[in-house]
């Protein structure tokens, strides 16, 4: 699938897959110098790109496991969602979960973008829902007993 991107900054790096079968394409920080994120704080990191996703697809921004384990940095909202009609700059809100300040440098891989189809539901109010073995069992209700 071809997906158009627009470089909003000449220093922006086009998203790239790290291996032939990678699900996520790396997103790169487009910052001059670096951005230091204090412990337990969040900073919005620009990527310098905008994206044109096809109708019926969305972009999901996930953490990079290396950045999360080595620096304690991960998306603040856990998973970012880029709707197919959004044409603004792709930004990543990175939260520092560590006890030390962490610096994000220009060109550093800060998150990964997974493009996936989605379904737009038509919600219908019903008086009753179908019965299941689980029923209304909530958090932890399907674990071992």
End-to-end CA distance of the chain: 46
**Bridge-partner residues for 115, per DSSP?**
59
pLDDT digit string (tens) for 67-123? 999 999 999 999 999 999 999 999 999 999 999 999 999 999 999 999 999 999 999
Confidence at residue 145, expressed as pLDDT on a 0 to 100 scale? 55
What pTM did the predictor assign?
0.90
**pLDDT mean across residues, the chain:** 95
Strand order in the sheet with 89-96: 4-7, 42-52, 89-96, 73-75
Residue 100 CA: distances (Å) to CA of 42, 86, 93, 94, 97: 13, 34, 18, 14, 9
Strand order in the sheet with 109-117: 16-17, 25-28, 109-117, 57-62, 80-82
Confidence at residue 144, expressed as pLDDT on a 0 to 100 scale? 61
Give the start-to-end residue ranges of the domains of the chain.
4-117
CA angle 25, 78, 142 (to 5 degrees): 110
* Cα–Cα distance measured from residue 112 to residue 137, given in angstroms and rounded to the nearest whole number: 34
Confidence at residue 108, expressed as pLDDT on a 0 to 100 scale? 97
In this prediction, what percent of the chain has a pLDDT beyond 90? 90
pLDDT digit string (tens) for 68-83? 999 999 999 999 999 9
Confidence at residue 98, expressed as pLDDT on a 0 to 100 scale? 97
Which fold would CATH assign to domain 4-117? Deoxyuridine 5'-Triphosphate Nucleotidohydrolase; Chain A (2.70.40)
SS3 69: helix
């Amino acid at each position: 699938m071809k997906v158009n991107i627009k470089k909003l900054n000449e220093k922006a790096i086009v998203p790239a897959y790290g291996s032939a079968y990678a699900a996520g394409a790396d997103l790169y920080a487009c910052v001059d110098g670096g951005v230091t994120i204090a412990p337990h704080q969040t900073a919005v990191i620009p990527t310098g790109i905008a994206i044109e996703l096809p109708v019926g697809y969305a972009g999901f921004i996930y953490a990079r496991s290396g950045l999360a384990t080595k620096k304690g940095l991960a998306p603040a909202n856990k998973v970012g969602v880029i709707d197919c009609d959004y044409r603004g700059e792709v930004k990543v809100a990175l939260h520092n979960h560590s006890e030390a300040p962490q610096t994000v440098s220009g060109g550093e891989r800060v998150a990964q973008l997974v493009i996936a189809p989605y379904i737009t539901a038509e919600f219908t109010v019903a008086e009753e829902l179908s019965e299941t073995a689980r029923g209304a069992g909530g958090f932890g209700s399907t674990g071992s007993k």
